[in-house]
Amino acid sequence: MATIVDTKALLETVVYSLAAGVGVTLIFSIAIYGMARFAELGREGRTPTALAFGSLAVLAIVAFCAVITLGIIVMTTK
Amino acid sequence: MNETDLILGIVVATALAFDFTNGFHDTANVVATSISTRAMAPRVAVAFAAVLNFVGAFISLEVAATVASDVVEAGAITPTVVFAGLIGAISWNLITWYFGLPSSSSHALIGGVVGSSFAAVGADAVLGEGILGKVLIPAIVAPVVAFIAGGLAIVICYRVVGAQRPGPVTRGFRLGQIVSGGMLALAHGTNDAQKTMGVITLALIANGNLADGSTPPDWVVVAAASAIALGTYSGGWRIIKTMGTRIIKMDAAQGFSAQGAGAAVILASSHFGFPLSTTQVISGGVMGAGAGKRVSAVRWGVAGDIVTAWLLTLPASAAIGAAVYGFCSIFGDGAAGPLIVSIVGLALAILAFARRLRTAAAVPAV
């Protein structure tokens, strides 16, 4: 069976799909969490903590954009 | 124009018609989640999906290469064989559409071409190992992976944002769905348009216009991309009218997770050249995101329908492809057979559309 099925390619497809499918949602969830906490703490006047969560949100958004861009680059360069 | 060029012309036109119907059928899969969570207005979602379907068709040729070289022996078949396979696929799509059964255009296309090749040349023309390794096993694995990815993603997502106020969370995920929905449309264009490119390339190789193992020429890529994008755009207007009747209600986070999982599986599979049923993968992602929130929220009957489609589509479209080839061969190697089949097929398709439009208002949005 292993000679008929390209096991390596199939396994890589499964791993990349799971990593990307779950990873993208996780990163975007962290971005939303950071934004929500930033807004909430900002309203309460806790500026330093709010800024920390704001930075977390920005980092997560940058990571989200990077993953999407990387995915497109990998697709177009094969 | 000689007779072989005429047959080739019919094959290319039929393949592009198939591509158009593929886009037309699949619009709902691509845009339903974005519309049902109100991430995008219906008209915007459909136009956005059509544009990204077009763009997606240009980003990879791996699936086209699989269809052109790993399913049937390209050197052993003729344009008439490819034509009969396409008619097998279109016929099965129309039959299932008429009776409201879920079907995979991709499996129908591969089944049709395999059936007609088998009828024309025999078992030697069918690359069993390629079909098993590149089509059948990925067809089973991919929706399951999309289901698991969608389910895991939504569980993790609720753990991260579950304690936050729902308003900002919903608005954030609706914004994110512009990207995830876009990626899904891009993935759909990539995998599905390439199947048509592969079939046209197969016909060009069979007709001697291209060498065995060639990649699709630029005009084939542009034509296939345009056909699927036009189909998506046209299909959307009808789907918009039936929105809210068949589409699963989900929140924006579930929509994002489902689209992300579906896009990831389709793009990764396209990268490795696996021609998938995008409908089944997207359904897997949606069911996973539904089950991750509440198992009973999922319409498990859809999973049963998918299994039925798996079992029926390949043999049924293969049988029709073989029968069409048999009919064409009665008229010899010329263009008469394909011409008669095209005219009769077009008339039957128009009749089916007219009857269906009279008896039912809605196109199933699986």
| pLDDT (tens digit per residue) in A2-23 | 566 778 889 999 999 999 999 9
Instruction: Please state the domain count of chain A.
Output: 1
- At residue A52, the pLDDT reads 96
CA dihedral B159, B278, B313, B94 (to 10 degrees): 120
Nearest to A5 among B137, B148, B270 (CB): B137
Rounded to whole angstroms, the maximal C-alpha distance in chain B is 71
Q: Express each pLDDT in B135-175 by its tens digit.
A: 889 988 999 999 999 999 999 999 999 888 889 999 999 99
B14 SS3 class: helix
- At residue B245, the pLDDT reads 42
Best residue of B271, B274, B278, B280 to probe chain A, by most A CBs closer than 10 Å: B271
| Cα–Cα distance for residue pair B175/B315, rounded to 1 Å | 43
Contact B264 A21 (CB under 8 A): yes
**In this structure, is residue A78 part of a structural domain?**
yes
Contact A32 B168 (CB under 8 A): yes
Residue B126 β-bridge partners: B72
Residue B72 β-bridge partners: B126
Q: Which of B215, B205, B231, B213 is nearest to B105 (CA)?
A: B231
**In this structure, is residue A4 part of a structural domain?**
no
> How many CB atoms are closer than 10 A to CB B300?
12
Give the pLDDT mean for B296-313. Answer: 74
* Contacts with B129 from chain A: Cβ below 8 Å: 4
Instruction: Please state the domain count of chain B.
Output: 1
Instruction: Work out the minimum CA distance from A18 to partner chain B, whole angstroms.
Output: 5
Cα B195–B197–B198 angle (5° rounding)? 65
- At residue B26, the pLDDT reads 78
**In this structure, is residue B343 part of a structural domain?**
yes
DSSP letter (8 states) at residue B164 = S
**In this structure, is residue B264 part of a structural domain?**
yes
Instruction: Work out the minimum CA distance from B345 to partner chain A, whole angstroms.
Output: 37
**In this structure, is residue B315 part of a structural domain?**
yes
Q: Which is more confidently placed, B198 or A75?
A: B198
**In this structure, is residue B222 part of a structural domain?**
yes
Distances (CA, A) of A73 to A56, A70, B267: 25, 5, 12
pLDDT at B16 exceeding the cut of 90: yes
A interface residues, B as partner, C-beta within 8 Å = 4-6, 9-10, 12-14, 16-18, 20-22, 24-26, 28-33, 35-37, 39-40, 64, 68, 71-72, 74-76, 78
Give the pLDDT mean for B235-256. Answer: 66
Nearest to A71 among B141, B157, B267 (CB): B267
Predicted model pTM? 0.86
Residue B229 CB contacts under 8 Å (≥ 6 apart), including other chains: B23, B50, B51, B53, B54, B57, B189
Assigned token pair, B29: 């899969």
Answer for the pair A14, B147: CB distance below 8 angstroms, yes or no.
no
* Contacts with B264 from chain A: Cβ below 8 Å: 16-18, 20-21, 24, 71
Q: How many Cα atoms sit within 13 Å of B192 on the Cβ side? A: 42
| Cα–Cα distance for residue pair B39/B212, rounded to 1 Å | 46
Q: Which of B349, B151, B167 is nearest to B258 (CA)?
A: B151
* Contacts with B131 from chain A: Cβ below 8 Å: none
B72 SS3 class: strand
**In this structure, is residue A69 part of a structural domain?**
yes
Instruction: Work out the minimum CA distance from A17 to partner chain B, whole angstroms.
Output: 5
Contact A30 B160 (CB under 8 A): yes
Contact B145 A17 (CB under 8 A): yes
**In this structure, is residue A7 part of a structural domain?**
no
Query: Residue A55 — very low, low, confident or very high, per pLDDT cuts 50/70/90?
Result: very high
User: The domain containing residue B172 runs over which residues?
Assistant: 3-359
Q: Which is more confidently placed, A7 or A27?
A: A27
Assigned token pair, B183: 């990626």
Contact B264 A20 (CB under 8 A): yes
Answer for the pair B227, B143: CB distance below 8 angstroms, yes or no.
no
**In this structure, is residue A56 part of a structural domain?**
yes
Nearest to A25 among B62, B157, B265 (CB): B157
For A39, the closest chain B residue by CA position comes to B168
Query: Residue A78 — very low, low, confident or very high, per pLDDT cuts 50/70/90?
Result: low
**Report for A17-26, B2-11, B20-29, B75-84: range of highest mean pLDDT:** A17-26
- At residue B248, the pLDDT reads 60
**In this structure, is residue B273 part of a structural domain?**
yes
**In this structure, is residue A16 part of a structural domain?**
no
**In this structure, is residue A13 part of a structural domain?**
no
Q: What percent of chain B is predicted at pLDDT more than 90?
A: 37
User: The domain containing residue A78 runs over which residues?
Assistant: 35-78
